[in-house]
């Protein structure tokens, strides 16, 4: 009896598919087949295998969560348009990337840099509309929040277009230059922004509330701000050849898996902030939300005064201190307006459940990424683990969330303690990602600021 039920389940799943489901599947398979036939010469066997596995995976995701179908079709179509526009202007090697500054649609919309700038604008606007929803709507989902959600989807779409077109552009520079755009801080911050937003949009639909968007999009807007600063300060939008350590197929799976973890941890932290504002006593909020950034500023100033740092490092530390002070001011305003900012949030059980699901998802992918990173290290440097600062802090992040999950599943940890822990966990993760690059050196020094 059980065997019969198991055998029939896949059949029933296929029978529930409508014409749009099958049309989407056909488009994905046709698009993937075209990419394989057109660009197979630029792919090694691992990349071809990843593409073949990605096609049914995308179909399954589109069937599971229908908004992904339209997103996939539009981004894929826009990318093909951009490639066709580049194809009309060629040089001795391939497409002439100067067309990105000459052709109207490339210059203002579809070149990688233009698309990523549109992503930045749309995410900023989405954050503003989400926050406006707290003050303009009386229902569960205000008009402003609906607009914010649509803008967030638009930002994700432009981020994906920018990423895919940048991938194509990298292959037009010269032999052995092309690579998946996850190789430097500029590219991975784009990855972080759209992944975190997609996680939020999924849970937004799952829990039927848009009120969490104001909190989650704050961390996305913070990442966008860093991305724009980094672009101006370092000309980071320029595509560079890979350093030897990054010339590995392990990068193609290790980095995305890592950032699924980072995005999920960021989502959990912002849900934790919403939970604390909704439930914690005012006194404890003032102590925690103000003391935490003040403590970070004190550490930054101590490093500035006591450590042997150069003038550039001093300027960087001062800049971070000002940013943290701004965060402290924002948190203080949030505490003062807590009743208005929490009245329309989901109930505490939903917030707690979402925080747990996000951390569980992030932990699973971060674990996979850490294992993949060990294999990559063995290939690049001859050893699975070398206690490099980046590896050490990755282990600290893993242990932090492993302990969080252990305390929840084995000891029943709930409430404010788990929320504070998740919020502090984002600071630990941020230091592992950025702080190590700023203040420490090691085998991963190719990722320095």
Q: Residue 6: its pLDDT value, please?
A: 43
Q: What is the mean pLDDT of the chain?
A: 84
Q: Residue 134: its pLDDT value, please?
A: 77
Report the alpha-carbon distance of residue 288 to residue 331 in Å, rounded: 10
- In the structure, what pLDDT confidence band is assigned to residue 2 with cuts at 50, 70 and 90? very low
- In the structure, what pLDDT confidence band is assigned to residue 271 with cuts at 50, 70 and 90? very high
Q: Residue 95: its pLDDT value, please?
A: 87
Residue 285 predicted with pLDDT over 70: no
Residue 299 predicted with pLDDT over 70: no
Report the alpha-carbon distance of residue 265 to residue 408 in Å, rounded: 16
Look up residue 187 and give its two tokens: 């590219």
Q: Residue 445: its pLDDT value, please?
A: 55
Range in 167-181, 184-198, 244-258, 326-340 with the lowest mean pLDDT: 326-340
SS3 assignment, position 95: strand
Q: Residue 313: its pLDDT value, please?
A: 61
Q: Which of 92-106, 114-128, 176-190 has the highest mean pLDDT?
A: 114-128
Q: What is the pLDDT of residues 412-440, one digit of tens each?
A: 888 888 998 999 899 889 888 887 776 66
Mean pLDDT of 265-281: 87
Q: What is the pLDDT of residues 238-267, one digit of tens each?
A: 888 888 778 888 888 899 999 999 999 999
Q: Residue 363: its pLDDT value, please?
A: 97
Range in 58-62, 165-169, 287-291, 389-393 with the lowest mean pLDDT: 287-291
Report the alpha-carbon distance of residue 4 to residue 6 in Å, rounded: 5
- Cα 229 to the center of its chain, rounded Å: 18
Q: Over pLDDT 90: what percentage of the chain?
A: 45
Cα dihedral 72, 199, 126, 348, rounded to 10, equals 150
- In the structure, what pLDDT confidence band is assigned to residue 81 with cuts at 50, 70 and 90? very high
Residue 296 predicted with pLDDT over 90: no
Mean pLDDT of 302-323: 62
Mean pLDDT of 345-364: 92
Q: What is the pLDDT of residues 53-73, one digit of tens each?
A: 999 999 999 999 999 999 999
- In the structure, what pLDDT confidence band is assigned to residue 195 with cuts at 50, 70 and 90? very high
Asked whether the beta carbons of 126 and 159 are under 8 A apart, the reply is: no
- Give 347's DSSP letter: P
Q: Residue 421: its pLDDT value, please?
A: 93
pTM: 0.87
Residue 323 predicted with pLDDT over 70: no
Residue 405 predicted with pLDDT over 80: yes
- In the structure, what pLDDT confidence band is assigned to residue 297 with cuts at 50, 70 and 90? low
Question: Which H helix or E strand runs over 178?
Answer: none
- Cα 74 to the center of its chain, rounded Å: 20
Residue 300 predicted with pLDDT over 50: yes
Residue found by looking up tokens 């698309």 in the block = 115
> Cα–Cα–Cα angle for 75, 141, 348, nearest 5°?
105
CA-wise closest residue to 210 among 146, 139, 278, 135 = 146
Q: Residue 264: its pLDDT value, please?
A: 96
Q: What is the pLDDT of residues 9-40, one digit of tens each?
A: 455 566 678 889 999 999 999 999 998 898 88
- In the structure, what pLDDT confidence band is assigned to residue 148 with cuts at 50, 70 and 90? very high
| Residue 309 dihedral angles phi and psi, to the nearest 5° | -125, 150
């Amino acid at each position: 009896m059980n065997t019969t039920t198991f055998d029939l389940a896949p059949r029933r799943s296929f029978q529930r598919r409508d014409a749009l489901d099958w049309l989407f599947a056909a488009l994905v398979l046709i698009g993937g087949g075209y990419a394989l036939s057109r660009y197979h010469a630029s792919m090694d066997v691992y990349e071809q295998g990843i593409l073949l596995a990605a096609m049914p995976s995308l179909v399954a995701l589109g069937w599971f969560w229908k908004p992904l179908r339209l997103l996939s079709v539009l981004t894929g179509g826009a990318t093909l348009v951009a490639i066709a526009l580049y194809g009309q202007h060629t040089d001795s090697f391939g497409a002439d990337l100067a067309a990105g500054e000459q052709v109207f649609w490339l210059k203002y919309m579809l070149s990688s840099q233009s698309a990523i700038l549109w992503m930045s604008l749309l995410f900023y606007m989405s954050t503003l509309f989400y926050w406006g929803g707290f003050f303009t709507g009386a229902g569960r989902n205000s008009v402003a929040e609906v607009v914010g959600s649509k803008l967030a989807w638009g930002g994700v779409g432009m981020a994906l277009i920018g990423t895919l077109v940048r991938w194509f552009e990298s292959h037009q520079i010269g032999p052995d230059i092309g690579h998946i755009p996850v190789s430097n801080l500029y590219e991975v911050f784009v990855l972080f922004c759209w992944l975190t937003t997609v996680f939020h949009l999924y849970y937004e639909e799952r829990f039927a509330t848009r009120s969490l968007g104001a909190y989650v999009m704050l961390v996305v807007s913070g990442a966008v701000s860093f991305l724009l600063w980094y672009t101006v300060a370092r000309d980071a939008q320029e595509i560079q050849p890979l350093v030897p350590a990054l010339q590995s197929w392990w990068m193609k799976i290790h980095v995305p898996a890592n950032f699924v973890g980072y995005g999920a941890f960021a989502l959990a932290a912002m849900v934790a902030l919403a939970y604390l504002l909704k439930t914690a006593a005012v006194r404890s909020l003032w102590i925690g939300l103000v003391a935490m950034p003040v403590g970070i500023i004190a550490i930054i100033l101590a490093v500035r005064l006591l450590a042997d740092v150069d003038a550039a490092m001093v300027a960087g530390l001062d800049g971070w201190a000002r940013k943290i002070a701004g965060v402290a001011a924002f948190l203080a305003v949030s505490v003062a307006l807590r009743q208005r900012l929490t009245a329309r949030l989901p109930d505490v059980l939903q917030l707690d459940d979402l925080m747990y699901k996000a951390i569980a998802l992030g932990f699973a992918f971060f674990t996979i990424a850490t294992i993949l990173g060990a294999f990559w290290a063995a290939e690049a440097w001859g050893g699975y683990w070398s206690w490099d600062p980046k590896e050490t802090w990755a282990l600290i992040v893993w242990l932090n969330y492993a302990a969080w999950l252990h305390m929840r599943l084995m000891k029943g940890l709930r409430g404010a303690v788990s929320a504070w822990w998740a919020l502090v966990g984002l600071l630990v993760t941020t230091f592992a990602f950025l702080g190590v690059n700023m203040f420490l050196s090691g085998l991963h020094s190719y990722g320095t600021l």
